[in-house]
Amino acid sequence: MAEPGITLGLKFQSRVLCPQVAQKDRSQWLVATNCLREENEVRFVEYDPGTESVRSPSAYVHRAEVWDLAACPSRTDRFFTVNNDGGEYHVNLWSTVPGEQVLNSLSELPDIDASIRRVLWHPKDDGKVATVEEGKLETWSVAEDSVKSSGSAPAGELQQLWSGSWCAEDTNTLCTAGGNGFQIWDLRAMQQTKEVDNAHEMPVRDVDFAGQQQGQLATCGDDCAIRIWDLRQMKEPTQLSKLNGHSHWVWKCRFNPHHNQLLLSSSSDSLVLLWSTKSAGTAPEGSPKGTSPRCAVIDDKAHTYDDHEDSVYGLAWSCVEPFVFASVSYDGRVVVNKVPSAVKYEILI
C-alpha cells in the first residue's frame, strides 16, 4: 500500500505544474493558477521528507492566467510562462526577485498567437527552448536576458500540434503530439524524420521520451490509453505496449527520470495511475511495425492514486528523490505522493 498523499491547496484553479530541474537539494516544483477574473500566482512547492510535509516557500504575483510553465534547467530563479491576458497570448521569460513577491519580465517571445500550446526548455541545455503552436514548431536561443528565434517549421496540412518532449540525450531531436499521432523532428533541418499518423484512435495529448532508455517514447490521449513505442526502427516505430486503466482523456504521461520501469499518467477521470513497464522493454518477436501494430496488450498497473476530485492536468516526478512525484488538479489541489514500498523494492533489489 502507498502512503496517503500530502495535499496543498491553491487559491484558484490550476492546469500546470513542472519540476524545478535546477534544484539539486530538495524536491521542488513550480505550479501556477489559471483564473480568468482574479490575480494569478506562481508558487514554489516543496516536499520535506524529514517532516513528511509540503509547503510553499515563495509565491509570486502573475496577473494573467497561466497555461504552461517551463523551469530553467540550470537556475532556480528563471522560468517561462504561457499566459493569456484578456484574450492575448504571451510567452514570457521571468526572473524572481529575492525577498519580493513580484516577477521581473526578462523577455517576451514575439509573434505568439492564440494557438500556443507548450513552451519546452531542454532539460540539459539552458540555451535551447521550443514552442509548440497549433500550426507550427519553433525553436529559440536563450541568452542571459533575451530570447531569439532560431528556426520554425509548419506542422503540416490539417495537423494540429498539442504538446512535445525533448530527447534528453540529443538536443537536436524533439517529438510532438499532433492529431491522432506523433512526429519526430530533426531540429538542425527543422523537418520531420518520422511520423505515426494513427498512434491513437483519438487525439494525442502528450508525449514523453524515456530518459534511461534510448529510443523509447510514451504517448497518451483522448482514447483513454497510454502507449509505449520503440523508435529505433529505421522506417517505422514499433508499439511495445498499450496501457488501459483510465476512463476519460489522459492529459499527461511521464517516465520516471531514474527508473524507466515506472510511468505515471493523469486524466480527466481525476486519477493518477502508476504503471510498471519493465515488460515493455523490448518489442515482442515478430511484432508488426507501423501504425497498426498487433503486439500483445500489456496492462501492468502498479497503483491507483485517487487523492483528486477534478481533472488532473499537471504531473511531474521529483528531480531529487526518485520515488516522489507531484500532481495538480483543476480545482487547485496539489498532491505529493510516493511510489509504494513494494514497487520500489522490487526495482531496487
pLDDT, mean of residues 66-71? 98
pLDDT, mean of residues 285-301? 48
Query: To the nearest 5 percent, what fractions of the chain are helix, strand and coil?
Result: 5, 55, 45
pLDDT interval class at 114 (50, 70, 90): confident
3-state class (DSSP) for residue 344: helix
> So what's the pLDDT on residue 182?
96
For the cut 90, the answer to whether the pLDDT of residue 144 exceeds it is no
pLDDT, mean of residues 138-163? 90
Amino acid at 216: Q
**pTM reported for the whole predicted model:** 0.92
Query: Looking at residue 323, what DSSP letter applies?
Result: T
> So what's the pLDDT on residue 88?
92
Amino acid at 22: A
> So what's the pLDDT on residue 125?
94
Nearest-angstrom CA–CA distance, 176 and 163:
6
Instruction: Report the half-sphere exposure of 242 (CA within 13 A, side-chain side).
Output: 15
Query: What are the beta bridge partners of residue 130?
Result: 120, 139
> So what's the pLDDT on residue 22?
97
Judge residue 192's burial from the number of C-beta atoms within 10 Å of its C-beta, 0-12 exposed, 13-18 middle, 19 or more buried: middle
> So what's the pLDDT on residue 212?
73
Query: What are the beta bridge partners of residue 305?
Result: 272
> So what's the pLDDT on residue 280?
47
Nearest to 323 by CA among 258, 277, 273: 258
| Mean pLDDT computed over every residue of the chain | 91
pLDDT, mean of residues 108-123? 92
DSSP 193-212: EEEETTSSSS-EEEEEE-SS
Q: Which residue has the higher pLDDT, 193 or 296?
A: 193
pLDDT, mean of residues 252-262? 94
Give the tens place of pLDDT for each residue, 88-101: 999 999 999 888 88
Nearest to 68 by CA among 164, 144, 142, 187: 164
Q: Report residue 211 as a C-alpha cell.
A: 530518459
- The DSSP H or E segment spanning 137 is strand 136-142
Nearest to 63 by CA among 90, 89, 83, 43: 83
For the cut 90, the answer to whether the pLDDT of residue 251 exceeds it is yes
Lowest mean pLDDT among 111-120, 181-190, 280-289: 280-289
